[in-house]
Amino acid sequence: MLIFEHSRSGRRAQAQAPASAADTADIPEQLLRRDRPLLPEVSELQAVRHYTQLSQKNFSIDTQFYPLGSCTMKYNPRACNTLAMLPGFLSSHPFAPESLGQGFLACLYELQEMLKEVTGMTAVSLTPAAGAQGEFAGVAMIRAYHEARGDGERREILVPDAAHGTNPATATMCGYTVREIPTDRQGDVDLAVLKESVGPHTAGIMLTNPSTLGVFERNIQEIAAVVHQAGGLLYYDGANLNAILGKVRPGDMGFDVIHMNLHKTFSTPHGGGGPGAGPVGVGRRLDPFLPVPVVGYNGDEYYWIDETVRPQSIGRLSAFMGNAGVLMRAYVYARMLGREGMQRVAEFATLNANYLMARLTAAGFDVAFPQRRATHEFIVTLKRQQKEQGVTAMDFAKRLLDYNIHAPTTYFPQLVPECLLIEPTETESKEDLDAFVEAMVKIQQEAETAPERLKEAPHSRPVRRLDEVRAAKQLDLVWSGPVG
Amino acid sequence: MSNIPADLKYAKTHEWARLNDDGSITVGISDNAQEQLGDMVYIEVPDVGKLVAAAQPCAVVESVKAASDVYAPVAGEIVEVNGNLVESPETVNQDAYGEGWMFRLRPSDPGELEELMDADAYESFLESESH
């Protein structure tokens, strides 16, 4: 039920809007609206019940195991939120002079330094307001670099077929054409095709390492050499940074630019379209093009660096300096972990994934790359089950909801048929991992004895199987009924 | 096993091509491709008159699982498109080789069609791809 359906004309939540607060006497006449806003009219208690009940329908990391591959749905420590909401941080205003924001600026500067250190890059800008904007900034810098050298003929970005869908989209947004590079049988980039594909038209390559196939790209140094020799640059998509945090550094692999999804790796709020942060890190070649502002430090005080100091910058990406409150959460997280803690993130994320992969393999499931060690995630393919029992990856995913487990990522990457991309993350206990294996084994038994139980799942949720075709074709997000 | 008509040619990217009496070529996606993609929700067809190179993306299919490019199996000029698919993309799921055709092109080099796979070769290709 929507909040609008509770609405009755004239009903008020008086405690929330005392009459004195509605005094508009000091607002100029021409600024007052004539028509009433189309807002639902409910009592305070109705509003409380409505939103509490909605929140109880949430299927989230706070309530359930959430092994959504390629998304790193790990637990965000509450302290990140609490400390970032200290009044001194919350009340800070972007127009306040630097001298009154030294504490905030110090945190942002230190976050820049920590992200540089953990990625092996030479400079970091925190300003991109989300992962997508970070990607855009990264490729825009590659473009600015080639143009600054008068090398404008480089029109093509290489993207492996195991890449995130956002990579070709970003390259296209930045005015490049995309050439897809296939993956070999072992899950690595096909080097022979890569060598044939590079040339004076190559602007760069966008890579995720570990890839979305859940394996580490073993030929990364050779890939870097091939692309660099052709005059192209290497872009690192930070989607899977959690797997290698503090263990291997993209800068050392030869990458020239990286974007980081702080919501995946550094414990900032995830999804929902809310405020995000997608900092970019660069090597020496791209340093002059970094988006502004960045925070500087002269040993005495912290200050903003803008276009006047960095004239070759690709410019500003938002009105101020990015989502500072979100960055503060990442800062607290990084500080709490420290250098050793970051390594443990990667170690336990990888250990948990390999434990799950080994147990599911022993239980009879087929994994996509059985000969490879998993990184922080791995792929189960249910192709055999589809053939033998007529059940699909989607049926397994929906049935897992009945076992109180969020579904893993389904049908991505597209290279593997009927796939589940499973990422347990470092924050799950052995008991929770075992419960997932048990649920998968039970569902497999059901697939053999009562497949309709899978086909009709979920049985225990507020909504049953959704009509995805209708949802995509007849998207309806606007209340069109009466208001008030 | 999916349906692979013997009278068509196939590309590695899962398009089928039918040589018409007037020398033009009708193109769609294979039964295997529609099965893998699942229920279609959007289809974007190219503009009539557009010149395409072989293996150039020229249409887009979006299903509940994924959005994918459809490639021109041979080079040529688009002479007709199946506009019905825009309203009824599910036609591709229902009849991939018939009503689900996507576009017709006039090949710039009719010999290029011979470079595509025949039904047997496509069947072996699907076999090899699934291992």
pLDDT tens for A27-84 read 898 998 888 888 899 998 999 999 999 999 988 888 999 999 998 999 999 999 999 9
Torsional sign, CA A426, A427, A433, A436? negative
Per the DSSP assignment, residues forming a β-bridge with A380 are: A367, A420
* CA proximity to A211, closest of A225, A197, A223: A223
CA distance A261 to A278: 5
Task: Identify the domain containing residue B81 by its residue range.
Answer: 13-129
Q: How much helix, strand and coil, in percent to the nearest 5, is found in chain B?
A: 25, 35, 45
CA distance A94 to A304: 11
Radius of gyration of chain A (CA): 25
Q: How confident is the model at residue A468 (pLDDT cuts 50, 70, 90)?
A: confident
Q: Which of B42, B64, B90 sits opposite A468 (nearest CB)?
A: B64
Residues 6+ apart with CB under 8 A from A107: A327, A328, A331
Do A412 and A419 touch, CB atoms closer than 8 A? yes
What per-residue confidence (pLDDT) applies to B128?
85
Chain B positions touching A411 (Cβ under 8 A) are 38, 65-66
CATH code (residue B80)? 2.40.50.100
Q: Would the pLDDT of A338 be above 70?
A: yes
What per-residue confidence (pLDDT) applies to A107?
97
Answer whether residue A324 is part of any domain.
yes
Q: How confident is the model at residue A431 (pLDDT cuts 50, 70, 90)?
A: very high
Chain A positions touching B66 (Cβ under 8 A) are 411-412, 414
Distance from the Cα of B41 to chain A's closest Cα (Å) equals 6
Residue A222 identity (one-letter amino acid): E
Chain A positions touching B90 (Cβ under 8 A) are 469
Tokens of A332: 């607290």
Tokens of A343: 């390594």
Answer whether residue B69 is part of any domain.
yes
Q: Would the pLDDT of B131 be above 60?
A: no
**Three-class SS state of A364:** coil
Find the mean pLDDT for residues A341-366.
98
CATH code (residue A205)? 3.40.640.10
Inter-chain touch A414–B42, beta carbons under 8 Å: no
Peptide bond into B57 cis (omega under 30): no
Calculate the average pLDDT of chain A: 94
Q: How many CB pairs under 8 A join A and B?
A: 26
State the pairing for strand pair B15-19/B51-52. Answer: unpaired
pLDDT tens figures, A121-139: 999 999 999 999 999 999 9
> Which of A166, A394, A415, A469 to mutate to probe the B interface, most B CBs <10 Å?
A469
Q: Which of residues 158-197 of A touch B (CB under 8 A)?
A: 165
Tokens of A7: 């609405």
Distance from the Cα of B23 to chain A's closest Cα (Å) equals 31
Number of independent structural domains in chain B: 1
Chain B CB within 8 Å of residue A468 CB: yes
Answer whether residue A189 is part of any domain.
yes
Full-model pTM: 0.90
What per-residue confidence (pLDDT) applies to A273?
64
Do A423 and A351 touch, CB atoms closer than 8 A? no
C-alpha distances (whole Å) from B55 to each of A319, B63, B71, B74 are: 42, 21, 5, 7
> Which of A371, A411, A415, A466 to mutate to probe the B interface, most B CBs <10 Å?
A411
Do A165 and A188 touch, CB atoms closer than 8 A? no
Task: Identify the domain containing residue A154 by its residue range.
Answer: 79-337
Residue with more model confidence, A484 or A213 = A213
Radius of gyration of chain B (CA): 14
How far is C-alpha A315 from the geometric centre of its chain's CA atoms?
A: 24
User: Is B125 exposed, middle or buried, given 0-12, 13-18 or 19+ CB atoms closer than 10 A?
Assistant: middle
Residues 6+ apart with CB under 8 A from A451: A389, A390, A391, A395
Q: How confident is the model at residue A320 (pLDDT cuts 50, 70, 90)?
A: confident
Percent of chain B with pLDDT over 70: 98
Distance from the Cα of B57 to chain A's closest Cα (Å) equals 11
Chain A positions touching B65 (Cβ under 8 A) are 410-411, 414
Chain A positions touching B62 (Cβ under 8 A) are 472
| Phi, psi (degrees; rounded to nearest 5) at B22 | -85, 10
What per-residue confidence (pLDDT) applies to A169?
94
Inter-chain touch A469–B64, beta carbons under 8 Å: yes
Edge to edge, the sheet with strand A409-410 lists A366-367, A378-381, A419-422, A409-410
Chain B CB within 8 Å of residue A472 CB: yes
What per-residue confidence (pLDDT) applies to A180?
93
Chain B CB within 8 Å of residue A364 CB: no
Answer whether residue A11 is part of any domain.
no
* CA proximity to A180, closest of B45, B114, B71: B71
Answer whether residue B3 is part of any domain.
no
What per-residue confidence (pLDDT) applies to A321?
84
Answer whether residue B107 is part of any domain.
yes
Answer whether residue A29 is part of any domain.
no
What per-residue confidence (pLDDT) applies to A38?
84
Inter-chain touch A417–B64, beta carbons under 8 Å: no
Chain B positions touching A472 (Cβ under 8 A) are 41-42, 62, 64
**Three-class SS state of A207:** strand
What per-residue confidence (pLDDT) applies to A479?
86
CA distance B13 to A304: 51
- ipTM value: 0.79
Do A276 and A329 touch, CB atoms closer than 8 A? no
DSSP B111: G
Q: Which of B36, B39, B67 sits opposite A469 (nearest CB)?
A: B39
Distance from the Cα of B52 to chain A's closest Cα (Å) equals 15
* CA proximity to B37, closest of B15, B6, B4, B9: B15
Inter-chain touch A414–B65, beta carbons under 8 Å: yes
Distance from the Cα of B91 to chain A's closest Cα (Å) equals 13
Q: Would the pLDDT of A484 be above 60?
A: no
Helices (H), B2-118: 31-37, 84-87, 91-94
Q: Could you write out the DSSP letters of every residue in A233-246?
A: EEEEEGGGGGGTTT
Answer whether residue A416 is part of any domain.
no
Question: A220-237 burial by CB neighbour count: b if 16+ within 10 A, else e?
Answer: bebbbebbbebbbbbbbb
Find the mean pLDDT for residues A457-464.
94
Tokens of B74: 């041979």
Chain B CB within 8 Å of residue A201 CB: no
User: Strand runs (DSSP E) across B39-110, as ranges?
Assistant: 40-44, 51-52, 57-63, 67-71, 76-81, 103-107
Number of independent structural domains in chain A: 1
Distance from the Cα of A386 to chain B's closest Cα (Å) equals 12
What per-residue confidence (pLDDT) applies to A16?
63
Q: Which of B36, B41, B68 sits opposite A473 (nearest CB)?
A: B41
Find the mean pLDDT for residues A334-343.
96
Answer whether residue A449 is part of any domain.
no
CA distance A135 to A172: 12
Q: Would the pLDDT of A272 be above 80?
A: no
Residue with more model confidence, A13 or A419 = A419
What per-residue confidence (pLDDT) applies to A39?
87
Distance from the Cα of A101 to chain B's closest Cα (Å) equals 46
Do A433 and A423 touch, CB atoms closer than 8 A? no
Inter-chain touch A383–B130, beta carbons under 8 Å: yes
> Which of B65, B88, B94 to mutate to probe the A interface, most A CBs <10 Å?
B65
Residue with more model confidence, B66 or A384 = A384
Do B28 and B97 touch, CB atoms closer than 8 A? yes
> Which of A179, A414, A466 to mutate to probe the B interface, most B CBs <10 Å?
A414
Inter-chain touch B130–A417, beta carbons under 8 Å: yes
Chain B CB within 8 Å of residue A412 CB: yes
pLDDT tens figures, A143-162: 999 999 999 899 999 999 98
Chain B CB within 8 Å of residue A469 CB: yes
Closest residue in A to B130 (Cα–Cα): A417
Q: Would the pLDDT of B12 be above 80?
A: yes
Do A124 and A276 touch, CB atoms closer than 8 A? no
Q: Would the pLDDT of A281 be above 70?
A: yes
Chain A positions touching B64 (Cβ under 8 A) are 468-469, 472
Answer whether residue A280 is part of any domain.
yes
Answer whether residue B8 is part of any domain.
no
Q: Which of B36, B41, B67 sits opposite A417 (nearest CB)?
A: B36
Closest residue in B to A409 (Cα–Cα): B65
Inter-chain touch B67–A165, beta carbons under 8 Å: yes
